[in-house]
């Protein structure tokens, strides 16, 4: 699905043209793209990009997906994607085995994905362009071999079922309802990409091969390549791998379009676990003229974009009617020429009838009055700025940007155009777009006779749908009366007084200083007990980066966690008494000195980054947060929003699951959500008191920036050293898993599946060397678990194993989660335990991981963000920057003996805790 959201759109793709040609030609290709077709119709797009020596990214796009299935092929497109990896191409090994034997890891070096309209196969070989012939041959064999067997299908079928099972849940249920209503009458609702359980179980080998034979044609494919290669040589390799495939007749794609009618259709969108609360009117149309890349098509596309943006802006300016919390619009592109415009009102509480009346009123107001010249002027100005920026953008595309551009071009079946030419064509198109064009397009949308009304309510809230006749009567009544014009400007808010920062007291002192010349680090001890650690090199993007942290975590003795977190979140947005919150936000934005908050059980962390010339503003921005008083209006607004969420929240099974998991791990749940009564009784004074307790804790500042010491010292003395602190650190409470084995079963799920979540830990002092050993073993454990539980047992699809040596807890903390058939959870859990307990490593694997780590470390030592993070880790552990000195020796930490020992401590049975989320009785009954 392709969505256009006004105000969030990236630059439109445009083409080069010095003057408007007499013949309306399509956009030219960027000259860096080598493109063409083989004799059999296979399209190729190649970009040589040498910034990452030797790297290669290959993508084969098959222009066929689940909507192209026949009625008796539900789910087959996706199953073909799975079965192609079982093909042998006439050899002994299956393709997956062949790729694995080359050292390729599924998910990292090769993968595949299917959606409604296409299937893609992706390969990024670890040896890069040296393995281009093998990678291209693998893609060709995936597409054309088709020699998988009935046995292969029976082996893969349970894995596809587990993928279907793993995708179940509230998001899936609501998406299916949205698709069924938005695309009513089309093939989409009945051809969900994953299919359904019955279709997966009944799909035949013949149906899979029939689909593949019909759609997997070279003239229905595009291969995209970005990398450090000779394009002509790669083109010859593509010819070698794909040239023998025979072209065929590509079937019609009419099934991808929405069949339109002149009816209003009304749908309820509701689920016990969904919090959605909205009324939306959708207008469905066919608009083929804006899908091409010709001058005329780009003009149509520009009118679409400007109209949608003006529509969204107009809706946002209107005062909300009773029952309406918000108004917005969104446009979705479907197939080659179908579109859906949705205009939605967020509903306040259970006022769906009032919200519908308000929504219909604003739509009729727009129909009667349209846009104003001022609206068009705003849109023209925005487009003109974008076009000028695009023309002037001389920055070369990165490797990742080229991958994205080629991928989007393959998906949308269009060229990749040069950016400077893009802007010039846009400037020409813009001259021929005016007010009449936008108003005509708006009326075209709003007068579409094919309409869908979607009404949603949270949880199981009572919801009565109006009839079609009732809605049409409301519309007719509104159309019969002249409505006032929309507000052309946002209501004037009270003027925001420029922020006046409080004067700090007389400067305090830097009472101690220590230099680590080799690491370019200095320690400054401040007279208030705070400590500054300064890495004297440019931060990320050349900015100054500041991270201020203390032991003021959110687990304080005697204070609810939610209240401490709320105090921190509101305080960092507030200023001193009398300082307007908006004025402070405006000042921080102008100075590029915004704060980021991260609150953990035992740590409060504030982060800022700004250009070096804004170092004073950066420190001032931080200081304001430390002496802030929560603004009453901000407190009242936040409390009311929290109360509304608490009163309208659905039956949140996830919260119950997470609560049980915390009780299992920690012995108690310290993260309970507040009751509505507790929030009603809350006062701003309580939150201010909580914040004062937090900011009284001594702070360590981590500063990274290329600054003169003579400039920094007076600022630190006046803005940081004068912040009042307590002498003693705050006693935050640790969040530690309790020892021992425990298990709980929670039979509340609405889906016919088991979700197993397990965790374990091992006490171990943190060191960089031990941490990197845990990291490489974590990746190995994931591979082995997937090979066993998915590859060998065909029992899971979604599986995740995570493990890290936590420097805060001085523990190796590991977790395992997977979904499966409830009848197999015991079997698969036992298999997972055996796999993790016997995580053997050999010297060949160790040598490979050491080489890979050497390659990665060469980049990390030049990466400012990595160096800053390592400085912080080093200082927390040893109060000095030794990690920056020893990081060059990290690959030497990967020795066979140490990795073997670490592997035995990755998931110890003695401390395993598991929670099983199982189907409820009603879910089991429905599954039968």
Mean pLDDT, range 681-697, rounded to an integer? 95
CA distances from 820 to 381, 541, 759 (A): 54, 45, 18
Same domain, 203 and 89: yes
Please say if the pLDDT value at position 779 is more than 90.
yes
Q: Are strands 451-456 and 278-286 parallel, antiparallel or unpaired?
A: antiparallel
Mean pLDDT to the nearest integer, 257-263: 96
Domain final position from 686, 720, 754: 720
- The edge-to-edge listing of strands for the beta sheet with 43-48 is 33-37, 43-48, 221-227, 56-62, 119-123, 110-114
pLDDT tens digit string along 793-851?
999 999 999 999 999 999 999 999 999 999 999 999 999 999 999 999 999 999 989 99
Q: What is the mean pLDDT of residues 205-231?
A: 97
Sole residue written with tokens 């998906």: 411
Tens-place pLDDT, residues 831-847: 999 999 999 999 999 99
Nearest to 833 by CA among 816, 808, 812: 816
For range 779-805, the mean pLDDT: 95
Domain count, the chain: 4
pLDDT category, 6, cuts 50, 70, 90? very low
- Find the domain containing 364 and state its range: 264-398+408-479
Position 5 scores a pLDDT of 36
Tell whether 19 is covered by a domain: no
What is the structure's pLDDT at 287?
94
Q: Stretch 35-46: mean pLDDT, rounded?
A: 97
pLDDT at 517 over 90: yes
Q: Confidence band (pLDDT; 50, 70, 90) for 656?
A: confident
Q: Is 31 inside a domain boundary?
A: no
Does 91 reside within a domain? yes
3-state SS class at 924? helix
Same domain (yes/no): 113, 147? yes
User: Is 779 a member of any domain?
Assistant: yes
- Please state, in angstroms and rounded to a whole number, the distance separating the CA atoms of residues 308 and 379: 10
CA 158 to CA 160: how far, in whole Å? 5
User: By percentage, how much of the chain surpasses pLDDT 90?
Assistant: 81
Residue 703 and residue 624 share a domain: yes
Query: Measured between alpha carbons, how far is 369 from 392 in angstroms, rounded to an integer?
Result: 38
140 closest CA partner among 33, 34, 239: 239
Structure tokens at 783: 């591979």
Q: From CA 628, how far away is CA 636, in angstroms rounded?
A: 17
pLDDT (0 to 100) of residue 653: 80
Binned at pLDDT 50, 70 and 90, residue 491 comes out as: low
Q: Which of 3-17, 463-477, 524-538, 766-780 has the lowest mean pLDDT?
A: 3-17
Backbone angles phi, psi at 912, to 5 degrees: -80, 130
What integer pLDDT is reported at residue 489 of this predicted model? Answer: 77
pLDDT tier, 493 (very low <50, low <70, confident <90, very high otherwise)? low
Q: Residue 749 belongs to what H/E stretch? A: strand 742-749
Tokens representing 295 are: 């001058």
| Confidence band, pLDDT 50/70/90 cuts, at residue 504 | confident
pLDDT band of residue 655 (cuts 50, 70, 90) is confident
Confidence of residue 927 (pLDDT cuts 50, 70, 90): low
Q: What is the pLDDT of residues 268-285, one digit of tens each?
A: 999 988 989 999 999 999
Q: Which helix (H) or strand (E) covers residue 158, if one does?
A: helix 150-166
Confidence at residue 28, expressed as pLDDT on a 0 to 100 scale:
86
Whether residue 497 has pLDDT greater than 80: no
> Is-contact 543 614, C-beta < 8 A?
no
User: How crowded is the C-beta side of 287, counted as CA atoms within 13 Å?
Assistant: 22
474 and 555, same domain (yes or no): no
Q: Which SS3 state, helix, strand or coil, does residue 460 take?
A: coil
Helical pair 615-626 and 581-591, crossing angle rounded to 10 deg: 150
CA proximity to 214, closest of 240, 181, 187, 249: 249
pLDDT value, residue 651: 65
User: What number is the average pLDDT over the span 221-228?
Assistant: 98
Mean pLDDT, range 908-925, rounded to an integer = 91
pLDDT of residue 561 exceeding 70: yes
Residue 152: the pLDDT is 96
Same domain, 516 and 591: yes
Residue-wise pLDDT tens digits, 66-97: 999 999 999 999 999 999 999 999 999 999 99
pLDDT of residue 414: 87
CB 296 within 8 A of CB 437: no
Q: Which of 457, 479, 501 is the endpoint of a domain?
A: 479
Q: Dihedral of the CA atoms 177, 178, 181, 186 (nearest 10)?
A: -100
Report the candidate in 30, 62, 26, 28 with the shortest Cα–Cα distance to residue 47: 30
Write the burial class of residue 228 (CB in 10 Å: 0-12 exposed, 13-18 middle, 19+ buried). middle
Task: Identify whether residues 550 and 442 lie together within a single domain.
Answer: no
Q: Are 889 and 772 in contact (CB under 8 A)?
A: no
Extract the runs of DSSP E, i.e. beta strands, from 501-541. 510-516, 521-526, 531-535
Helix (H) or strand (E) holding 800: strand 799-806
- pLDDT score recorded for residue 615: 96
| pLDDT for residue 22 | 40
Residues 789 and 675 in one domain: no
420, part of any domain: yes
pLDDT band at 646 (very low <50, low <70, confident <90, very high): confident
pLDDT for 35 beyond 60: yes
- 799 burial class (0-12, 13-18, 19+ CB within 10 angstroms)? buried
Residues 413, 545, single domain; the answer is no
Strand 2-4 versus strand 324-334 pairing type: antiparallel
Give the pLDDT of residue 17.
Answer: 32
The answer on pLDDT for 13 being more than 50 is no
558 with 452, same domain? no
What is this structure's pTM? 0.86
Q: Which two tokens stand for residue 863?
A: 């990466």
**pLDDT tens sequence across 160-187:** 999 999 999 999 999 999 999 999 999 9
Q: Which tokens in the block code for residue 903?
A: 């592997």
Instruction: Check pLDDT > 60 for residue 21.
Output: no
> Average of pLDDT values for 282-300?
89
CB 301 within 8 A of CB 206: no
The pLDDT value recorded for residue 923 is 76
pLDDT of residue 315: 97
**Residue 238 included in any domain:** yes
Residue 32 within any structural domain of the chain? no
Q: Are 750 and 272 in contact (CB under 8 A)?
A: yes
* Structural domain ending residue among the three candidates 439, 458, 479: 479
Give the percent of the chain with pLDDT over 70.
96
Alpha-carbon gap, residue 404 to 398, rounded angstroms:
10
Strand 221-227, strand 43-48: pairing: parallel
Helix (H/G/I), strand (E/B), else coil: 701: strand
State the chain's mean pLDDT as an integer. Answer: 92
The whole-number pLDDT of residue 912 equals 97
Q: How far apart are the first and last CA of the chain?
A: 33
User: Tokens 């599924």 identify what position?
Assistant: 106
Q: What is the tens place of the pLDDT at every residue in 903-916?
A: 999 999 999 999 99
How far is it, in rounded angstroms, from Cα 824 to Cα 162?
A: 11
Whether residue 32 is predicted with pLDDT greater than 50 in this model: the reply is yes
Report the pLDDT averaged over residues 213-228.
Answer: 98
Residues 444 and 517 in one domain: no
Same domain, 554 and 672: yes
* Same domain? 673 vs 753: no
Q: Write the CATH number for 51.
A: 3.30.830.10
Q: Does 737 map to a domain? A: no
For 621-635, the pLDDT digits (tens) are 999 999 999 999 999
């Amino acid at each position: 699905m392709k969505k256009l959201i006004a105000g969030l759109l990236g630059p439109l793709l445009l083409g080069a043209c010095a003057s408007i040609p007499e013949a309306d030609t399509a956009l030219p290709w960027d000259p860096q793209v080598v493109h063409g077709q083989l004799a059999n119709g296979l399209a190729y797009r190649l970009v040589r990009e040498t910034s990452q020596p030797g790297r290669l990214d290959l993508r084969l796009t098959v222009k066929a997906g689940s909507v192209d299935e026949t009625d008796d092929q539900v789910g087959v497109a996706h199953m073909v994607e799975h079965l192609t990896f079982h093909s042998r191409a006439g050899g002994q090994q299956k393709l997956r085995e062949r790729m694995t034997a080359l050292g390729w890891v599924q998910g990292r070096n090769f993968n595949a994905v299917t959606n409604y309209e296409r299937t893609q196969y992706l390969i990024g070989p670890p040896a890069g362009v040296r393995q281009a012939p093998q990678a291209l041959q693998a893609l060709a064999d995936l597409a054309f071999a088709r020699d998988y067997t009935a046995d292969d299908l029976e082996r893969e079928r349970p894995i596809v079922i587990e993928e279907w099972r793993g995708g179940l849940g509230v998001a899936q249920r609501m998406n299916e309802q949205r698709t069924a209503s938005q695309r009513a009458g089309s093939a989409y609702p009945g051809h969900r990409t994953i299919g359904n359980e019955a279709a997966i179980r009944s799909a035949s080998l013949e149906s899979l091969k029939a689909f593949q034979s019909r759609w997997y044609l070279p003239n229905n494919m595009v291969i995209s390549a970005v990398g450090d290669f000779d394009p002509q040589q790669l083109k010859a390799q593509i010819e070698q791998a794909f040239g023998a495939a025979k072209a065929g007749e590509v079937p019609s794609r009419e099934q991808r379009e929405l069949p339109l009618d002149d009816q209003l259709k009304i749908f309820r969108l509701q689920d016990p676990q969904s919090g959605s609360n909205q009324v939306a009117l959708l207008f469905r149309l066919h608009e083929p003229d804006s899908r091409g890349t010709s001058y005329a098509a780009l003009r149509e596309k520009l009118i679409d974009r400007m109209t949608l943006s003006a529509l969204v802006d107009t809706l946002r300016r209107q005062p909300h009617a009773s029952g309406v919390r918000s108004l917005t619009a969104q446009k979705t592109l479907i197939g080659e020429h179908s579109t859906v415009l949705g205009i939605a009102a967020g509903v306040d509480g259970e006022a769906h009838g009032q919200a519908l009346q308000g929504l219909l009123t604003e739509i009729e107001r727009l129909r009667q009055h349209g846009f104003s010249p001022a609206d068009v002027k705003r849109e023209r100005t925005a487009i003109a700025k974008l076009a000028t920026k695009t023309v002037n953008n001389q920055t070369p595309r990165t490797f990742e940007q080229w991958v994205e551009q080629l991928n989007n071009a393959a998906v949308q079946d269009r060229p990749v155009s040069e950016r400077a030419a893009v802007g010039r064509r846009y400037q020409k198109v813009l001259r021929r777009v005016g007010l009449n064009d936008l108003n005509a397009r708006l009326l075209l949308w709003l007068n579409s006779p094919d309409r869908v009304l979607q009404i949603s309510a949270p949880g199981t809230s009572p919801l009565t749908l109006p009839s079609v006749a009732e809605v049409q009567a409301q519309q007719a009544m509104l159309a019969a009366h002249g409505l006032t014009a929309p507000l052309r400007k946002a209501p004037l808010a009270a003027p925001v007084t420029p922020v006046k920062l409080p004067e700090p007291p007389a400067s305090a002192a830097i009472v101690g200083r220590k230099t680590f010349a080799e690491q370019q680090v200095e320690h400054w001890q401040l007279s208030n007990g705070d400590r500054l650690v300064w890495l004297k090199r440019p931060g990320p993007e050349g900015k100054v980066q500041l991270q201020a942290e203390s032991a003021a975590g959110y687990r304080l003795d005697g204070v609810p966690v939610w209240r401490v977190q709320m105090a921190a979140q509101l305080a960092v947005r507030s200023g001193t008494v009398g300082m307007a919150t908006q004025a402070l936000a405006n000042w921080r934005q102008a100075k590029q000195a915004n704060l980021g908050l991260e609150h953990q059980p035992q740590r409060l962390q504030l982060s800022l980054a700004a250009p070096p010339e804004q170092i004073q503003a950066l420190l001032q921005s931080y200081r304001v947060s430390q002496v802030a008083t929560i603004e009453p209006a901000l407190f009242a607004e936040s409390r009311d929003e929290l109360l509304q969420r608490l009163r309208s929240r659905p039956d949140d099974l996830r919260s119950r699951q997470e609560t049980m998991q915390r009780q299992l791990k920690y012995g108690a749940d310290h993260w309970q959500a507040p009751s509505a009564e507790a929030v009603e009784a809350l006062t701003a004074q309580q939150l201010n008191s909580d914040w004062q307790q937090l900011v009284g804790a001594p702070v360590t500042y981590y500063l990274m920036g290329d600054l003169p010491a003579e400039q920094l010292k007076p600022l630190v003395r006046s803005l940081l050293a004068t912040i009042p602190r307590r002498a003693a650190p705050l006693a935050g409470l640790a969040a530690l898993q309790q020892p021992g084995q425990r298990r709980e079963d929670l039979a509340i799920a609405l889906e016919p599946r088991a979700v197993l979540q397990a965790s374990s830990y091992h006490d171990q002092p943190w060191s960089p060397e031990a941490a990197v050993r845990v990291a490489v073993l974590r990746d190995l454990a994931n591979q082995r678990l997937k090979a066993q539980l998915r590859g060998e047992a065909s029992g899971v699809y979604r599986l995740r194993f995570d493990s890290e040596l936590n420097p805060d807890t001085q523990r190796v903390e590991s977790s395992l989660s997977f979904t499966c058939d409830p009848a197999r959870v015991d079997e698969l859990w036992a298999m997972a335990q055996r796999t993790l307990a016997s995580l053997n490593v050999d010297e060949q694997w160790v040598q490979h991981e050491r080489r890979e780590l050497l390659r990665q470390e060469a980049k990390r030592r030049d990466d400012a963000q990595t160096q800053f993070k390592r400085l912080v880790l080093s200082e927390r552990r040893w109060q000095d920057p030794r990690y920056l000195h020893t990081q060059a020796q990290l690959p030497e930490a990967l020795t066979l003996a140490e990795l073997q020992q670490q592997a035995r401590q990755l998931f110890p049975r003695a401390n395993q805790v598991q929670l099983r989320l199982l189907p409820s009785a009603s879910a089991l009954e429905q599954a039968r």
